[in-house]
Chain A
Amino acid sequence: MNKQRKYRPLTIGDVLINGFMVLVVLICFVPFLYMLALSLSSPDAIINNKVSLFPVGLNFEAYKQIFTYPNFFKAYGNTIFYTIGGTLISLFMSALFAYAMSKQFLKGHKLVMMLIVFSMFFSGGLIPTYLLISDLHLTGTVWAMLIPFAINQFNLIILINFFRAIPAEIEEAAIIDGLNYFGILQRVILPLSTPALATIGLYTAVFFWNDWFNGLIYLNTNQYPVMLFLRNIVNGTAMVGDGAGAADKSTIAMSIKSAVIITSTLPIIILYPMLQRFFVAGLTVGSVKG
């Protein structure tokens, strides 16, 4: 099919679509370029409004400075650990749950589904959740990051939906081959669902990567994720500013803010290109052996 496409002549539609996509790329990328430029510019140039898309007074001071912040690399490592660990646990739990829940004939299916949906709209509030997690003796351990948030209802529902779309005949064939349900999930459903799993995995990974609040309340200083660090630098002055405290008095140079944003988001941004190879319907229905 792709081969066929390649030889087709370019139509006006193609030109329009490609032109539109170029525009999208520009709109989405320019702010990053701007921040990159800021992070590499001298503070004087920034204050004097000279920086646009390319660094003025190129220097790496901002990066040097954030690398000297105590615990920066430690926090970075923590975040990577939470992201990988959290995503794996989450995918495991969600896949099990979603596969079972994709079978509408199971008894209690509707009830559980409603439990899942309704819980999206209610939360017990901060203090009860905090008490629960601290009563389970999870606070101050990495498990407080990894376990309580392993199932996200939104992702779960999306995954259930994807599993449901897999034709039943494929499963029937697997059953004939002598597989049990665990086997079907592992050998048939999961390989068939790589785009869905990659999507959910990405969403989950980004959740863990970006989380700072749970890190703040459940963990100790040396376990803090890097996003808490980012927030402190980027928001610290913007959100507080209530009293005549230090926050009103001193601000952090824009170059440093930008450098922190770049360093703490780059790794998660390159995750998607890496996952994109799963976005091929490698196995189509027809290619599954009967």
Chain B
Amino acid sequence: MTDTTMVSKSPRDNVTPRSSSSRHFRRYWQLYVMMLLPLCHFILFKYAPLIGNVLAFRRYRPGMGPYGTEWVGWAYFERFLQDPAFWRAFNNTLILSFGNILINFPIPIIFALLLYEVRSKRFRKFVQTISYMPRFISTVVVIAILGELLSPSSGLLNRVLGSLFGMDPIYFVNEPQFFRPIYILTDTWQYTGWTAIIYLAAITGVNREMFEAAEIDGASRFQKVIYVTIPSIMSTIMVMLILNVGSLLSLGFEKVLLLYTPSNAAVSDIIDTLVYRTGLMNQNYSYATAIGLFSGVIGVILVSSTNWLSKKMSGESIY
């Protein structure tokens, strides 16, 4: 019954008059009910454990209660904020992350666009399937394969470089200047196909009629991509970008740890590895929590500002 009364108004219409909030609920109560269960779940499992963050301000003593024993104020924050190793790790994290986004954000989009241009449907599906397989190789194995490939004594790459250019073998995994490229390129290899899935799903959703209309207008293939496909998936692209920038401080910890050697420590020590060594290996939970909280705040700042920027510039935002 209520449904029929709604017909006149578009559900998108959000200029519901203020006075009619009871009408609003009568009309949309189902949507609120829909949200209820997931929201409770969300608050229970995502927000309740956040109490644990008090540990950033309280000293944790093993075996004496999960929420610490006494208040220490900002002591743990001061400790890492004054630690030069922290700032080095902070810089390394930012540089590595930015580099990673710069390279590995556009590549899956380009890949998805190109893949969609492949004519044979069967070949397209085949490529799609194969390209996402590297996602499933565990990091340890990726690093092991990499070690073999790049080994100065037996590695394929060094042999090729040696025979083609007469170069001396390079110990890639131990040279600081190769650490970032190695990290980023292995990410490209592992995640391009995987991330492209989202964009492929978005492209699939693009209205066919728009392509047909563009074709009638005499648009070239390239023009269709630029003027039809990309604008249609722009909101997905922006959402992904915002989420990516927001998670700037979280890198593939395990991979960095596996690639870490004393020689490349100056560039490979990131926040997570520092926390691992100072906080978790020595069971200093409070210290680790303080750094985690700090990273979280930075993440929120980054995501809010990207979101704000995106809203200003492209009209897309996630909230």
Which A residues lie at the B interface, using CB under 8 A?
1-2, 5-6, 8, 11, 13-14, 17-18, 20-21, 24-25, 27-29, 31-32, 34-35, 49, 93-94, 96-97, 99-101, 103-107, 110, 112-125, 127-129, 131-132, 147-151, 153-154, 157-158, 160-162, 164-165, 168, 171-172, 175-176, 178-182, 185, 195-196, 198-199, 202-203, 206, 210, 230-231, 234-235, 238-239, 257, 261, 265, 268-269, 272-273, 276, 279-281, 284-286
Contact = CB atoms under 8 A, between A and B. Distances in A.
B116 to A, nearest CB: 10
Contacts of A149: 45
Interface string B71-109: 000000000000000000000000000000000000000
B114 interface: yes
A203 B197 CA distance: 10
B117 A165 contact: no
Contact of A101 (B35, B118, B201): B35
Interface in B90-144: 111, 114-115, 117-119, 121, 123, 125-138, 140-141, 144
Nearest to A277: B125
Contact of A234 (B111, B141, B201): B141
Return the 4 tightest CB-CB contacts between A and B, nearest first.
Answer: A128-B52, A124-B49, A124-B52, A105-B14
Contact of A113 (B207, B246, B319): B319
Contacts of A180: 3, 30
Interface of B: 3-4, 6-7, 10-14, 16, 21, 24, 28, 30-32, 34-35, 37-39, 41-53, 55, 66-67, 111, 114-115, 117-119, 121, 123, 125-138, 140-141, 144-145, 154, 189, 193, 197-198, 200-202, 204-209, 211-212, 221, 235-236, 239-240, 243, 246-247, 258, 285, 288-289, 292-293, 295-297, 299-300, 303, 307, 318-319
Given A105-B12, A115-B47, A132-B49, A175 B131 contact: no
B130 A25 contact: yes
13 contacts: A31-B134, A100-B34, A106-B28, A120-B243, A120-B303, A123-B52, A123-B292, A125-B288, A157-B243, A261-B138, A268-B136, A272-B132, A276-B125
Contacts of B111: 24
A11 B19 CA distance: 62
Given A124-B53, A265-B136, 13 more contacts: A105-B12, A115-B47, A121-B295, A121-B299, A172-B7, A178-B4, A195-B201, A199-B198, A206-B135, A206-B136, A261-B141, A269-B133, A273-B125
Given A31-B145, A269-B133, A272-B132, A128 B51 contact: yes
A234 B140 contact: yes
A168 B11 contact: yes
B143 to A, nearest CB: 9
Contacts of B132: 272
Given A20-B114, A164-B235, A97 B47 contact: no
Contacts of B44: 132
B117 A99 contact: no
A151 B278 CA distance: 31
Contacts of A150: 41
B34 to A, nearest CB: 4
Contacts of B204: 195, 279-281
Contacts of A269: 129, 133, 136
Nearest to B30: A181
A198 B201 contact: yes
Contacts, number: 276
B123 A21 contact: yes
A151 B35 CA distance: 12
A198 B205 CA distance: 13
Given A124-B51, A180-B3, A272-B132, A286 B34 contact: no
A104 B136 CA distance: 37
Q: Is the interface of B mostly helix, strand, loop or mixed?
A: helix
Contacts of A257: 141
Contacts of B209: 284-286
Contacts of A97: 34-35, 38-39, 42
A162 B236 CA distance: 8
Nearest to A14: B119
Given A6-B119, A100-B34, A179-B3, A162 B125 contact: no
Contact of A119 (B41, B47, B136, B201): B47
B42 A127 contact: no
Given A49-B154, A106-B28, A198-B201, A93 B41 contact: yes
Nearest to A129: B49
B34 A185 contact: yes
Contact of A116 (B42, B114, B235, B240): B42
B229 to A, nearest CB: 13
B49 A24 contact: no
A180 B11 CA distance: 12
Contact of A28 (B50, B131, B285): B131
B93 to A, nearest CB: 14
Contacts of A181: 28, 30-31, 34
Contacts of A235: 138, 140
A290 B136 CA distance: 44
B282 to A, nearest CB: 13
B140 A285 contact: no
B42 A175 contact: no
Contacts of A157: 239, 243, 318
A112 B212 contact: no
Q: Which of B13, B43, B141 has the most CB of A within 10 A?
A: B141
